[in-house]
Chain A
């Protein structure tokens, strides 16, 4: 081990190497479900080059897809999978027609299955459970709606409390928060 160490570089810890014994098959299945055949990705980097988010954040789509394609579970705890705005530029441009954006969404689904969801996102789910809308109405908007000649409260699920309750009881019942990661 020691003979592999320079003053500040540890050649035992290449960032691209992970323990194949830890391969997470759930991740591979998720990619395939999304229409992303792991072995078909040639790591060309078109996705990263097309990524608006990556110009401003640490998100590197090609690296996410590589880690996911090799079943590396650390990708699920990486905040980078939550930095995709789902603009679909990478998906539309992928020369192998791999559904990159849908694959990222599917990785988020696996993260969600394991309780890896941010508090801010849990709050959005709470709003839908409470109001049936992710962005509920407020007094200021009620007044503006009246001024504009619209119904004060839009004729949606807002007025059907029983339906909101049924939605809340059946959909988006999130796994409790995992103690480490996710933020």
Chain B
């Protein structure tokens, strides 16, 4: 390994769930990746919100962040599916639309940047699931996690498929294969591939609808054997974690499912004891349980 990445932090990970950031950094270091900071990086900006208001400005702000990674002379890595949606999306758009790229660079000049789109944008789940892979991680872990989870893929990691081409969004296996190597059992549940309800500016713009979509998903998980929801996106993490509290307050439900990010469970298996689950709003007492390596 030894590959270098510019680590794009985004907003929700560093500013709401910093434990996802600290565990991600720990995991990347343990696996031999070099991390460069993205000095001056802004909000990605969010693909459902800002792209809806002004798609061109969204592309400019996204390209500005890409340019910071390019200045570091590395590929760009994100731990958030929303940031992945924007950064991968803008990179893809500008690679395929030279006129748009020209216009974006013209505006970027005012901000003091230029973009070439010669670097790749990767999601941490893709790096763990494919580049490191189940066999690679099996060689590195110090212990397994005794845990049954409902895997939540979210949306922008795999969709739109014609752009991402990572795994089949209708029946992916990348996360299950990886988690199996950590000893984590993935439980099938209804609506497994459904959205968490947060994206597309819906959580901010129409919270009630957002919560109803979440409620359907939470009911399905609660009715399954899963002990936790395993996610790969801080925004999904936030929606599941704080959203359960909102649902319980608003509708009198008793949802209480711990939320675990892929970096947190990976860090645990690599030897980190406190992976920051105590900072979750829901089930802060939940602790991961170790299982010996076979």
Q: A residues bordering B, Cβ < 8 Å?
A: 52-53, 55-57, 79, 82-89, 91-92, 99, 101, 105-106, 108-109, 112, 117-118, 120-121, 123-125, 128, 132-138, 141, 144-145, 148-150, 154-157, 160, 163-164, 166-167, 170-172, 174
B159 adjacent to A112 (CB under 8 Å): no
Instruction: Report the bound CA distance from A108 to B48 in whole Å.
Output: 10
B49 within 8 A of partner (CB): yes
B11 adjacent to A134 (CB under 8 Å): yes
Tell me which residues from 204 to 226 in chain B have a Cβ below 8 Å from any Cβ of chain A. 204-206, 209-210, 212-213, 216
Q: A91-B160, A150-B21 are in contact. List 11 more A-B contacts (CB 8 A).
A: A92-B170, A105-B55, A112-B52, A124-B46, A132-B42, A135-B15, A148-B19, A156-B14, A156-B42, A160-B39, A171-B57
Count CB-based A-B contacts (< 8 Å). Answer: 194
One of B128-136, B195-203, B244-252 contacting the partner:
B195-203
Q: Given that A118-B205, A121-B204, A155-B37 are contacting pairs, would A112 and B54 also be in contact in the complex, using a CB cutoff of 8 Å? A: yes
Checking B16, B112, B206 against A82 with a beta-carbon cut-off of 8 angstroms, the contacting residue is: B206
Distance to closest chain A CB from B200 (angstroms): 4
Residues of B within 8 A of A138 (CB): 15
What per-residue 1/0 map shows which CB atoms of B181-202 lie under 8 Å from chain A?
0000000000000110111111
Distance to closest chain B CB from A98 (angstroms): 12
B101 within 8 A of partner (CB): no
Checking A88, A123, A133, A154 against B159 with a beta-carbon cut-off of 8 angstroms, the contacting residue is: A88
A170 adjacent to B38 (CB under 8 Å): no
Tell me which residues from 17 to 54 in chain B have a Cβ below 8 Å from any Cβ of chain A. 18-19, 21-22, 25, 37-43, 45-54
Distance to closest chain A CB from B71 (angstroms): 14
What per-residue 1/0 map shows which CB atoms of B169-182 lie under 8 Å from chain A?
11000000000000
Checking A83, A87, A89, A120 against B204 with a beta-carbon cut-off of 8 angstroms, the contacting residue is: A120
In the complex, which residue of chain A has the Cβ closest to the Cβ of B22? A148
A84 adjacent to B18 (CB under 8 Å): no
A150 adjacent to B22 (CB under 8 Å): yes
Residues of A within 8 A of B160 (CB): 88, 91-92, 99, 101
Checking A85, A105, A117, A150 against B197 with a beta-carbon cut-off of 8 angstroms, the contacting residue is: A85
B12 within 8 A of partner (CB): yes
B55 adjacent to A106 (CB under 8 Å): yes
Distance to closest chain B CB from A111 (angstroms): 8
In the complex, which residue of chain A has the Cβ closest to the Cβ of B54? A172
What per-residue 1/0 map shows which CB atoms of B109-144 lie under 8 Å from chain A?
011100000000000000000000000000000000
A141 adjacent to B15 (CB under 8 Å): yes
In the complex, which residue of chain A has the Cβ closest to the Cβ of B108? A170
Distance to closest chain A CB from B29 (angstroms): 12
In the complex, which residue of chain B has the Cβ closest to the Cβ of A56? B212
Instruction: Report the bound CA distance from A157 to B38 in whole Å.
Output: 9
Residues of A within 8 A of B48 (CB): 85-86, 105
A109 adjacent to B52 (CB under 8 Å): yes
B155 adjacent to A83 (CB under 8 Å): no
Checking B40, B45, B54, B169 against A156 with a beta-carbon cut-off of 8 angstroms, the contacting residue is: B40
B9 within 8 A of partner (CB): yes
B149 within 8 A of partner (CB): no
A85 adjacent to B159 (CB under 8 Å): no
Checking A83, A134, A145, A155 against B45 with a beta-carbon cut-off of 8 angstroms, the contacting residue is: A134
Distance to closest chain A CB from B227 (angstroms): 24
Residues of B within 8 A of A167 (CB): 42, 61, 64, 111
In the complex, which residue of chain B has the Cβ closest to the Cβ of A143? B18
Residues of A within 8 A of B54 (CB): 109, 112, 171-172, 174
B209 adjacent to A83 (CB under 8 Å): yes
A174 adjacent to B53 (CB under 8 Å): yes
A84 adjacent to B279 (CB under 8 Å): no
Distance to closest chain B CB from A75 (angstroms): 14
Distance to closest chain A CB from B287 (angstroms): 17
Residues of B within 8 A of A132 (CB): 42-43
